[in-house]
Structure 1
Amino acid sequence: MKKLLSGITTMMLVIGLFTTGVQAKELNTQELKQMIEQTNKEIYELINEADDKGDALVISYEANKISEKQLNHKLDQIIGQLIDFTSNKTEKVIKEAAKNGVELEAQWIEVEIGGRTVLVDPLITGGF
């Protein structure tokens, strides 16, 4: 009987320790909101930076400093980097939120970069 009680007590202790460790890794709601806000801030900063670069390229093109081919190539690069960055950032935060039982989704918004309309995906909350 003592062995049985000892075994049950040991098993409960192990389960208790394991459960506590898992809970310690979970983000609380405030930390998750801060992560989302920081990610969105970074995304909007990159959008503004890409917009400024696109505008500068258009001005250079209009001043005959670069060709149309160069303009298109450089705009493609800027837009590609913007989309890659936002997609990677949102994916990481969405996965982290899912680990913590919160469902997030990306909402596509239109932004203009160098006269082109581009869809970018900052985060919105879905499960708070």
Structure 2
Amino acid sequence: MYPQSQNRRLFPIIVGVYGALWAVFSLLMLFFGLTNISGRGMEGLAAQVAIIVFGIPSLIFAVLLLVCAVGLWQEKRWALVMALVLAILNLAIAVLISIAPTDITYVGFGGIVLSVVALWYIVKQLRFRD
């Protein structure tokens, strides 16, 4: 059980929305990668990178987030552990994005904040349940 019954459904909804956003991102990467896969030179290489590095792993991460959201909605203990692992993985991804020399470092900083808040909440829930 969650310590505050009125807020117990908010976290699964946030995880589900986050998973849906990851799914949209990954499907866009797969779509743009597949539409440009026949390109020559850098265009074809960029398409392959979009599919292999971003599209497929992001889709797997999105599916895991959605499974986790369903488990959290049903208040399963395994879902809290899964959320903990996914939040740590998301934190690692966000740190890598934030230190990369690109124009999207603000996305990495936002991911760090989101991951730290999620980790705090998950640890709080795990401590309360024991």
Tell which structure's C-alpha radius of gyration is larger. 1
Q: Fold-level match, TM-score > 0.5?
A: no
State the TM-score, normalized to the length of structure 1.
0.42
State the TM-score, normalized to the length of structure 2.
0.42
- Larger fraction in strand: 1
